[in-house]
Chain A
C-alpha cells in the first residue's frame, strides 16, 4: 500500500492540501518546483484542476511559443502558471480567494461530505452501519434536494450552459426519491437501486458489467461482505448522481479513487489473490464508469470541451507535418507499414468510443503495439523510445482523434491509479500525454525549422514542399488503388501460373499417349503371332489319306473364317493367351471331328 500512498494523484493531492491548509505538502511543493524547472508547462492532461470560470477571473491570452517569462504565475511568486488555473501556479491558485465562488458552502451542507475523504478503513464501516438502519433511504431522499437547492444558491456563478443542463432534470428528482429502496444491506439489490437513481441511466453494458462483477464477487466473499461492497459502490453512485453538476470534477475523481483504494484494502484483507484482485478491481471500475460515463465524461463543469476543440484545431493546423520533421523513421512506401499505420489510426480513434478507462487504455495499447511492429518492420530492430515517441506523435497528428483531451482527462481522473502508473498501459498513456504536450508546445525550434516557415505553414499561408507526398501516401483512394493493383498483380501472376501449368499438362498428356503407342508397337513387334494350326491339321489327316472316297472333313468348315483371317482381325489387340488359344481350340475341334469321322468309317 505504500505505493498507493506515494504515487500522488494530482486530484487527491489537491484534496489533501485543502484539508490541511497550513501549507503545501512536500509532494505539492515538488509539483510546483517541477513547473519551474522544466522548460514548458506540464501537459494539461496530467494536472486536471479545472474549475468553472468565475466572472472575476480574466485569463491572460495564451502565449504559444512565447518567452517563458509570460508563463509565470500571475501572482509573481516566481513559479510557472498554468492556463488551467488561470495562469496562477498551483499554490497561488489554491490560495486565491475567488476559488470559494466555485464550490459554495451551501452545497456542502446538504449531507455530502466533500471535505477530507475518509480513510480507507473507517469509511466502509460507516457506510455499512448507516445503510443498515435505513440510512440509504434518508440519504437518497436528501440528495435530490441537494441538487435542487444547489443551483439556486450560487446561481450568480453558474454559467448559462450549466443552468440549462440543470433545469430540465430537476423535476424528475422528487418522483424518484420516493421510490428509493430501503433494504437491509444483507440483501442489497443493486439493480433496483441503480434504476432508482434519477440521472444514471443504466445501459445494458452497465447491467451486464454489474452482473459479471456480482458473480465474481460471490465467488470470493460471503453475503455480508458482498452487500458491504455494493453499498460502498452505490453510496458513491448516489453521491455522483446527486451532485455531479455542482461538485468539482476533481473532488468526484478523488472520491472514486478513494473507493478503489477502499475496495483494494478490503480485498487484501479478505485474502483475495493478486490476480483476482486486479480483475475484480477492473470489473468494479467498469461497472462504475459505465454507470456514470455520460455524467462524468467531458462534464459541463469543466472546460474539457473547449480544450478538445483547441487541440483539434491545433492538430489541424499541423497536418502538413511529415515524418521527416518529426524524425520518425518509418518506411511509408511499404504497403505493410501503411496497413499497420491505418490500423493504428483506427485504434486510436476507437479510444473515444470505449466507455471505461480500462477499455480506453486497451485500445491505446493495441495502437502502440502496432506502431512498434511498424517500426520493427521499418528498421529491422526493436523499437526504442527514441523512435517510438515521434511515431506516436505522427499518428496523433494524422488521426486527429476526436475528443482526445477529454479522453485523456477522463482516464487520468477515473482510471485505477495503479494501472496508470505501472504496466504497459501506464507507459503508453504517459507517451500519449507526452505526445500531446509536444503537439501543444511545438514550435519551429522543436522541429528544426525556420521560424517564419513554421509560422507560414501553421497559418496555412504556404505549404511545405513535399507535403503532397505525405498527403498522397495517406489518401484513401490511393490506398485502395494500390491495394487493388496488388490484388490484380497477384491475380495475373496466378493466371500466368495456371496457363503454364495447363500447357505443361497437355504436353505431358501428349507425351504419355506417344509413349503408350510406342510401347504397344514395341510389344506387338516382340510378340508377333505365328500361325501353327495348319501344321497340326496336316498331321491329323495324314493317316486317313487312304479313304479318299469320303470328302475331306474339313470341307464342312469351309465357310468358317480361316485362322489367319481371324488372326488379322485381331491385329489391333495385344497378344494375349485367349487369342492365341482360339485357333488352338478350333484345331482341336477339327481334330476331334475328323477322328469321329474316322471312327464312323471304321465301324
Chain B
C-alpha cells in the first residue's frame, strides 16, 4: 500500500505532554466530514492521504503518523519507531522541565541515527502560561523553560518551533509562530537555509502544527524562515 512517496512522521516526548492529543486532534477533529483517509480508531497510528503540488504536477502523499510511548521505561525501544522517519515532532510541556530535558535527548538521538529526519519542536500547553499572564492573578504555571532558550535551541538544531494550546482553549495573539521549515527533499540531506518568509498565525491550535508541517514537507524550492513576531 505504498506509492513511492510515503512520509513517516514520528512523535516523541514524555508521557502526558500532549503528543497524542496532537494526533487525535489532527486526524479526528479538524478533518471530520471531509474525505479523510484514516484507518484506525485511536491515535497510536494514523495516516492521511493528501495531494501536493510539486512543480505544477499533483502528487499523492501518504503521511503516516507514529505515536510513541513516552514513558521512561520504553525509552530504549523508541528507535524502532523513528527508524527511517522523515520528520520527528518533539513535544514538550512548557511547564515541565523534565520534558524539556527529554527533548534535548531526543534531538541528539534522532539527529545521530536519522540524518534525513527533520526535527520540529512543539511546545504544548501554552494555555497554562496564559492563565498567569492575565492580570487577575489566577493560578497559572510559570514557564519552566525560558522562551529565549527554546528559540535558541530551535535555531541551533534548525528546527521549526510551534506553540500549541490545549484543545478547546481559545488561541490568542500572544502566540508566536516561528517557522523554520526545511528545504525538504526525499532522500536528500538538508540544503542551505532558504530565503525568509514570515508566517504568522492567529491560531496556535494543535492541528495547525501538523498541517503546516505537511505543507512544509514537500517544499523543494522555497524554504522559509521567520523572525519572531511580537
Residue A470 CB within 8 A of the other chain: no
Q: Are A446 and B42 in contact (CB under 8 A)?
A: no
Main secondary structure of the interface of A (DSSP, over half): helix
Q: Are A428 and B43 in contact (CB under 8 A)?
A: no
Q: Are A33 and B113 in contact (CB under 8 A)?
A: yes
Q: Are B64 and A373 in contact (CB under 8 A)?
A: no
Residue A433 CB within 8 A of the other chain: yes
Give which listed residue, B2, B3, B73, B74, contacts A419 with CB less than 8 A.
Answer: B2
Q: Are B74 and A33 in contact (CB under 8 A)?
A: no
Give which listed residue, A38, A422, A423, contacts B79 with CB less than 8 A.
Answer: A38
Residue B48 CB within 8 A of the other chain: no
Give which listed residue, A8, A274, A376, contacts B3 with CB less than 8 A.
Answer: A274
Residue A1 CB within 8 A of the other chain: yes
Give which listed residue, A268, A372, A423, contacts B44 with CB less than 8 A.
Answer: A372
User: A431 to chain B: which residues have CB within 8 Å?
Assistant: 44
Q: Are A438 and B2 in contact (CB under 8 A)?
A: no
Q: Are A424 and B42 in contact (CB under 8 A)?
A: no
Q: Are B69 and A385 in contact (CB under 8 A)?
A: yes
Q: Are A383 and B44 in contact (CB under 8 A)?
A: yes
User: A30 to chain B: which residues have CB within 8 Å?
Assistant: 112-113, 115
Known: A2-B187, A446-B73. A427 touches B41 (CB 8 A): no
Residue B6 CB within 8 A of the other chain: yes
- Distance in angstroms from A371 CB to nearest chain B CB is 9
Q: Are A385 and B44 in contact (CB under 8 A)?
A: yes
Give which listed residue, A327, A382, A434, A447, contacts B77 with CB less than 8 A.
Answer: A434
Binary contact readout B196-217 vs A (1 if CB under 8 angstroms, 0 otherwise):
0000000000000000000000
Within 8 A of B (CB), among A1-15: 1-3, 5-8
Within 8 A of B (CB), among A328-353: none
Complexed CA–CA distance, A83 and B192 (Å): 42
Q: Are B43 and A39 in contact (CB under 8 A)?
A: no
Q: Are B6 and A418 in contact (CB under 8 A)?
A: yes
Stretch of A40-48, A208-216, A234-242, A487-495 with 4 or more beta carbons under 8 angstroms from chain B: A40-48
Complexed CA–CA distance, A376 and B43 (Å): 11
Binary contact readout A357-375 vs B (1 if CB under 8 angstroms, 0 otherwise):
0000000000001001101
- Distance in angstroms from A381 CB to nearest chain B CB is 8
Q: Are A427 and B64 in contact (CB under 8 A)?
A: yes
Who on chain A is nearest to B73 by CB? A446
Residue B118 CB within 8 A of the other chain: no
Q: Are B74 and A422 in contact (CB under 8 A)?
A: no
Complexed CA–CA distance, A42 and B76 (Å): 8
Residue B135 CB within 8 A of the other chain: no
- Distance in angstroms from A412 CB to nearest chain B CB is 11
Residue A437 CB within 8 A of the other chain: yes
Q: Are A2 and B8 in contact (CB under 8 A)?
A: no
Q: Are A43 and B80 in contact (CB under 8 A)?
A: yes
Known: A6-B187, A376-B41. A423 touches B77 (CB 8 A): no
Q: Are A384 and B8 in contact (CB under 8 A)?
A: no
Q: Are A389 and B112 in contact (CB under 8 A)?
A: no
Residue A99 CB within 8 A of the other chain: no
Residue B133 CB within 8 A of the other chain: no
Give which listed residue, A3, A26, A389, A445, contacts B74 with CB less than 8 A.
Answer: A389
Known: A6-B116, A373-B41, A385-B44. A422 touches B67 (CB 8 A): no
Q: Are A427 and B6 in contact (CB under 8 A)?
A: no
Known: A34-B113, A386-B15. A437 touches B77 (CB 8 A): yes
Q: Are B20 and A385 in contact (CB under 8 A)?
A: yes
Known: A278-B1, A382-B42, A424-B39. A40 touches B76 (CB 8 A): yes
Within 8 A of A (CB), among B142-198: 186-188
Known: A39-B75, A434-B74. A384 touches B113 (CB 8 A): no
Known: A5-B187, A382-B24, A422-B64. A437 touches B40 (CB 8 A): no
Q: Are A434 and B81 in contact (CB under 8 A)?
A: yes
Within 8 A of A (CB), among B27-42: 28, 39-42
Residue A421 CB within 8 A of the other chain: yes
Residue B62 CB within 8 A of the other chain: yes
User: A5 to chain B: which residues have CB within 8 Å?
Assistant: 187
Q: Are B71 and A42 in contact (CB under 8 A)?
A: no
Binary contact readout A382-399 vs B (1 if CB under 8 angstroms, 0 otherwise):
111110111000000000
- Sampled A-B contacts (7; CB under 8 Å): A3-B4, A6-B116, A274-B60, A375-B42, A386-B16, A418-B6, A430-B66
Chain B residues packing against A (C-beta within 8 Å)? 1-6, 8, 15-16, 19-20, 23-24, 28, 39-45, 47, 60, 62, 64, 66-71, 73-77, 79-81, 83-84, 109, 112-113, 115-116, 186-188
With A7-B83, A30-B113, A386-B20 given, can you name 14 additional A-B contacts, CB distance below 8 Å?
A33-B113, A34-B112, A39-B76, A43-B80, A369-B40, A383-B43, A384-B23, A386-B69, A389-B69, A430-B83, A434-B69, A434-B74, A434-B77, A438-B77
